[in-house]
Chain A
């Protein structure tokens, strides 16, 4: 079946530190991959996406590359800010899967000044 696994949180960093949140997936075929972010008390916002192997999604300084050979979609940012503190979700949609998003368990990021 389809599944997404993220690194356990919480992740605590100092401002301007480098961020990596690991995400690996299991899926048949060629899924599309997403990172969503949930700020405290809010709904989910799409952060970035990639629809095929070797695609790089990027937004607001965050990047992730679709690696089919390692079935991974790790999220990175070169210099985090306090305002990046949130819960980050890796997710996939598999073609023929009626459009449902399958989420990882979420990783909480806390950035301290």
Chain B
């Protein structure tokens, strides 16, 4: 009965490889997010989808490509991995965003990506 789940929990790979992280939520939310947490614990938004439509795309290298097959899933694909991509990636979801209300975001357990 996990609300927001991510797979895998740990991912160790070599530079230049392509990898994907999957996220699923069973809360019936319309909006999903990807955040990156660096080695100093700093968290920054990467992407957000509202019912499969991209609404936030921060300054992220185009090697990162989110894909939302349906509103319950938001996957993150990373091409040509670099050492600097090593971080913890968190998926989150919330009720449909609108400009008048700030809804609570529910976070997944995170995926620790290590690029060697």
Contact = CB atoms under 8 A, between A and B. Distances in A.
Nearest to B88: A43
Contacts of B45: 100-102
Contacts of A51: 102
Contact of A105 (B40, B104, B109): B40
A93 interface: yes
Nearest to A9: B41
B31 A89 contact: no
Interface string B72-101: 000000000000000000101010010110
Interface string A11-46: 000000000000000000001101010100011111
B102 A95 contact: yes
Contact of A43 (B40, B97, B108): B108
Interface size class of A (residues with CB under 8 A): 20 to 34
Contacts of A87: 41
A32 B56 CA distance: 18
A10 to B, nearest CB: 11
Interface in A41-69: 42-46, 49, 51
Interface string B41-60: 11111001000000110100
Given A43-B109, A100-B33, A89 B99 contact: no
Contacts of A95: 99-100, 102
A87 to B, nearest CB: 6
A46 B4 CA distance: 14
A36 B105 CA distance: 10
Given A95-B100, A99-B94, A101-B43, 9 more contacts: A36-B107, A42-B109, A43-B108, A43-B110, A44-B90, A45-B107, A95-B99, A100-B48, A103-B42
